[in-house]
Amino acid sequence: MVSIKSFVIRRTISCNMRVDRLFTALVRVACIAILAQAIPAQEAKPAATTQPDPTTILLDAKALYRKGSFDQSLARYNEVLKADPHSGDAYAGMVRCYLKQDKVHEADDAVRKGLLADPAYPDLKVAEGELLFRQGEIPEAGALFNEVITTPPSPAQPNVPPNARAYLGAALVARATAMYAREHILITRAHAIDPSDLDIQKEWMLTLPTADRIKLLEDYLGRNTNDDAETRRTLKEHLDFLKASQFAQSGRCRMVSDVTSTETNLIPLQSRSGDVQGSGLQVTINGQDSRLLLDTGASGILITSKLASLAGLKTVSDLRMTGVGDKPDIQGHVTYANSVRIGKLEFQNCQVHVVDRLQTANDGIIGADVFSQFLIEMDFPRSTLRLNPLPPRPGETPAKASLKTSEEEPAEDAEGKPSGASGAAPQSKVSTANYSDRYIAPEMHSYVQTFRIGHMLLVPTKINEGSEKLFLLDSGSFDNTLALGTAQEITKVHRAPRIDVKGINGDVKKVYVADRVMLDFGHLRQTVPDIVAIDMSRVSRQAGTEVSGTLGMVMLRLLKVRLDYRDALADFQYAPQPARH
């Protein structure tokens, strides 16, 4: 505007009035045009951008996680980290997204980065504990959960509620170590802190009486959750079974014989190819004799449809079964047997699973966990099985043992894990006094403390004198095996196309052999020149923790094995083959 004004002044000195007026008008038009151009130019300047609120994005990421939209949730957590690179909440959320997707390596990477950014953040420590549990480092996970639980809140934030997932994680560790009273207290506390957490809801429902569990499961399955399709199918089958079993039978499987212990022979059983598969038991079901493979890696009683038909068993509900092998899950049925006889012991009203297809030439499989209310002694060199009463806990009245053929038996069992009787309201759960923690009797101090995940006994085992891994005790497996990922970490592996490995889900397509390894477990050491390595990711997903291998029959046939499922204890003794005359 200064240059225009000077120009106007110079023109007015040298022009007459008419020209001056005309020129002034033109100048005014020019000024208006310039101003018109200047105003839009000012409006076109970008407005100051508002930075996205990390708290809002974080809430959105958590909502996406709860719906199962894990990739979108991860994207939002990354947006949080762009705005706040030290957000422990964002890193913890990313770890949980990756674990839900079973991307363990990515979860590990997220934990490492998060600990560099904010090593003291409580929820990040809890997420690290969840990762360690999935990686098979259960004691280390428990230590982190307990650290968060016992650390008082920061003086700067005295009103921050306790971390519910720390209590959940500690409850899962307690269950794996047979600390059932502690587990019950912890999961109840977790639900009181955050009843909206979906993982906590699923665990808390297991503490309820059957009738209330049915109602809450129906509600849970009617909502959108972050469970994968397989988990939802399993929950739906579980719900169907609970409904059907209410009307099928009353009471639990119970022993009706007067004796409380027995000894019976172990029978050598063959596979379909004629090779020795393992040791079995003579089991009579509703008067029908059968030979069932004794399998410490399996659960319950599983028989062929042919034997079920002969025994007159009727279907109560359907179920799927999974295990080793590359074929899809096999379909089966739940039935009840009026009578099951093993040696001198007879039991009534026992759950039996039935399938059409089994990778065995025998009549079925009996999981060793059905004897979890007994002290089990399997003397493989002498081919005998002994079942004796478990040592009573201090102050406890010895209870009559039975077969544990179902996880849903409606009375308190001898393991210290009551499954609840129907009729109570959801808030009036079974008293904590009815739950018991692991008891190691004086005569059992030499036993190994294993981890029990469902029916699995996971034995701490060192490979080549390294750190401990978890190996599944599996008398249904012909030989020791390594998980492929574990084998690749410690030694060289080679394809072995001529070795056949079969499981409940059919043949394993890709079989490998690992170089010489040394296994240390239960005060014993075995050197294996060539050990089979297979993909065991399905077993690990099912367990929720890393299973690095199996201890199979080629090794177990040299041992006397004592098992206490109640307290998750195992004893292994080398027992040379008795001399033959």
For residue 551, the cross-strand partners are 473
Q: What is the pTM of this model?
A: 0.85
pLDDT digits (tens), the chain, 581 positions: 433 333 333 333 343 444 355 445 444 545 445 444 544 444 455 555 566 788 999 999 999 999 999 999 999 999 999 999 999 999 999 999 999 999 999 999 999 999 999 999 999 999 999 999 999 999 999 999 999 999 998 888 778 899 999 999 999 999 999 999 999 999 999 999 999 999 999 999 999 998 999 999 999 999 999 999 989 998 998 898 888 877 665 567 888 988 889 999 999 987 666 666 789 999 999 999 999 999 999 999 999 999 999 999 988 887 776 655 455 567 788 899 999 999 999 999 899 999 877 766 689 999 999 999 999 999 999 999 999 999 999 988 877 788 887 765 433 345 555 444 333 334 434 445 568 999 999 999 999 999 999 999 999 999 999 999 999 999 988 889 999 999 999 999 988 767 776 655 557 778 899 989 999 999 999 999 889 999 999 899 999 999 999 999 999 999 999 999 999 999 999 987 765 54
Neighbours of 529 (CB within 10 A): 8
> Please, is 496 exposed, middle or buried when counting C-beta atoms within 10 Å of its C-beta (0-12, 13-18, 19+)?
middle
Rg of the chain over Cα atoms, rounded to whole angstroms, equals 33
Coil, strand, or helix at residue 365? strand
Of residues 101, 108, 151, the one with CA closest to residue 132: 108
Kindly state the tokens that stand for 580: 């033959």
Residue with tokens 């600990």: 115
For residue 248, the cross-strand partners are none
Of residues 561, 557, 553, the one with CA closest to residue 532: 553
Please answer whether residues 356 and 533 qualify as being in contact, where contact means their C-beta atoms are separated by less than 8 angstroms: no
- In Å, what is the CA distance from 107 to each residue of 66, 67, 135? 18, 19, 11
Please answer whether residues 509 and 559 qualify as being in contact, where contact means their C-beta atoms are separated by less than 8 angstroms: no
**C-alpha to C-alpha distance for 301 and 397, rounded to whole angstroms:** 29
**C-alpha to C-alpha distance for 536 and 549, rounded to whole angstroms:** 8
Measured in whole angstroms, how far is the alpha carbon of residue 105 from the centre of its chain?
17
**C-alpha to C-alpha distance for 459 and 501, rounded to whole angstroms:** 22
Beta-carbon contacts of residue 81 (< 8 Å; ≥ 6 apart): 87, 90, 91
Residue 331 parent element (H or E): strand 330-337
Please answer whether residues 191 and 201 qualify as being in contact, where contact means their C-beta atoms are separated by less than 8 angstroms: yes
Angle at 446 between CA 444 and CA 448, to 5 degrees: 95
**C-alpha to C-alpha distance for 81 and 88, rounded to whole angstroms:** 9
418 DSSP 8-state letter: -
**C-alpha to C-alpha distance for 530 and 18, rounded to whole angstroms:** 113
Length of the chain: 581
- In Å, what is the CA distance from 406 to each residue of 151, 245, 349, 561? 39, 11, 11, 24
